[in-house]
């Protein structure tokens, strides 16, 4: 703590001098980011869609109880034929129609948003934490540890079916950034002031990567949404019965039911595409606003 305070007087000496020449108000990086992000109408719209989806997901039980008066797994007899073919399409009774078991697709789609968002956000959180830990260690400590972690990442990335591959990409990005940041002057300064490795890793290097980590996380979420949906589509995802968009699409393609009941395919599919698209647009917008040089 004492070392930090020692540097402050010099800053105060410099500050009045500069402001004496020209009354420029300094803007923090976050203010810069905010002004840039506010101008990006597409990203704002995407952020709105994401918030709306989160609200719908949170309110799903309320919708089930007070609006449509049925739950996601209620079997509504009379809306299907004897051989389990859904007869009721989008209508006043069921806004998005019913599936082969007579379940209400509208309320299932809302509950599906809960499943999708919860799993995607959890998975993204875990992979970001693991990615930061592995990437920081590999990039900062270097040497044998770096070789070991990098080879580990290579092996995991060549595992098929993408089981773990999606998250581990974050480790590579963190490692690359750490490699370049650890050579910068402020790290040298911190070391000269007597700080240890842990402090430098988490208090000096990590805060400088927050922008990239936010962007990586926002772009990981749609990937994880699609991944969860893909697993559920193949029936190796969430347990059967839990409403999920991938599972609903699987129901629709089962025996090509969508030939008769197009709504079984259309509504969960559109929600899936909209959600992924909104997160992708938001991620692009965040990247442009946080780091204007990248991407464009």
* Segment lying near another protein (by CB under 8 A), choices 32-40, 65-73, 109-117, 276-284: 276-284
Q: Please measure the distance between the N-terminal and C-terminal CA atoms of the chain and give it in whole angstroms.
A: 41
Contact flag: residue 251 with another protein (CB under 8 A): no
CA atoms within 13 A on the CB side of 266: 11
Contact flag: residue 158 with another protein (CB under 8 A): yes
Contact flag: residue 92 with another protein (CB under 8 A): no
Contact flag: residue 155 with another protein (CB under 8 A): yes
CA atoms within 13 A on the CB side of 49: 19
Contact flag: residue 290 with another protein (CB under 8 A): no
> 3-state DSSP call for residue 284?
helix
Contact flag: residue 134 with another protein (CB under 8 A): no
Contact flag: residue 236 with another protein (CB under 8 A): yes
* Segment lying near another protein (by CB under 8 A), choices 26-34, 174-182, 190-198, 265-273: 265-273
Contact flag: residue 115 with another protein (CB under 8 A): no
Q: Which pair of structure tokens corresponds to residue 191?
A: 């070391």
Residue 70 Cβ vs another protein, minimum distance, rounded to whole Å: 25
CA–CA gap between residue 246 and residue 226 (Å, rounded): 8
Using the rule CB under 8 A, which residue among 221, 233, 237, 251 binds another protein?
233
Residue 246 Cβ vs another protein, minimum distance, rounded to whole Å: 7
Contact flag: residue 256 with another protein (CB under 8 A): yes
* CB within 8 Å of 72: residues ≥ 6 apart: 60, 64, 103, 104, 107, 108, 110, 111, 243
Using the rule CB under 8 A, which residue among 72, 97, 237, 246 binds another protein?
246
Nearest C-alpha neighbor of 82 from the set 102, 108, 103, 105? 102
CA–CA gap between residue 273 and residue 271 (Å, rounded): 6
Q: How many CB atoms lie within 10 A of CB 267?
A: 22
Residue ranges that bind another protein, judged by CB under 8 A: 154-155, 157-161, 222, 226, 229-230, 233-234, 236, 246, 249-250, 252-253, 256, 258-259, 262, 265, 269, 272-273, 276-277, 280-281, 284, 295-296
């Amino acid at each position: 703590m004492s070392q930090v305070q020692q540097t402050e007087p010099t800053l105060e000496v410099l500050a009045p001098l500069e402001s004496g020449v020209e009354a420029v108000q300094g803007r923090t990086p976050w203010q810069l980011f905010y002004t840039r992000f506010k101008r990006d109408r597409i990203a704002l719209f995407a952020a709105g869609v994401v918030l709306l989806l989160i609200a719908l997901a949170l309110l799903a039980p309320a919708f089930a109880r007070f609006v449509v008066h049925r739950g996601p797994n209620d079997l509504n007899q009379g809306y299907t034929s004897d051989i389990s073919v859904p007869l009721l399409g989008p209508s006043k009774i069921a806004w998005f129609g019913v599936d082969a078991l007579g379940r209400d697709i509208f309320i299932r789609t809302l509950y599906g948003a809960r499943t999708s968002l919860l799993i995607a956000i959890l998975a993204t959180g875990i992979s970001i934490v693991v990615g930061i830990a592995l990437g920081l260690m590999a990039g900062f400590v270097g040497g044998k540890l770096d070789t070991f972690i990098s080879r580990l990442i290579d092996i995991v990335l060549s595992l098929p079916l993408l089981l773990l591959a999606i998250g581990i990409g974050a480790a590579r990005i963190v490692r690359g950034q750490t490699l370049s940041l650890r050579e910068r002057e402020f790290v040298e300064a911190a070391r000269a002031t007597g700080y240890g490795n842990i402090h430098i890793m988490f208090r000096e290097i990590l805060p400088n990567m927050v922008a990239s980590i936010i962007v990586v996380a926002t772009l990981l979420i749609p990937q994880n949404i699609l991944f969860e949906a893909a697993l559920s589509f193949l029936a190796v995802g969430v347990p059967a019965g839990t409403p999920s968009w991938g599972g609903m699409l699987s129901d629709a393609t089962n025996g090509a039911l969508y030939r008769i009941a197009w709504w079984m395919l259309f509504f969960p599919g559109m929600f899936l595409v909209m959600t992924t698209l909104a997160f992708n647009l938001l991620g692009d917008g965040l990247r442009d606003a946080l780091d204007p040089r990248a991407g464009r």
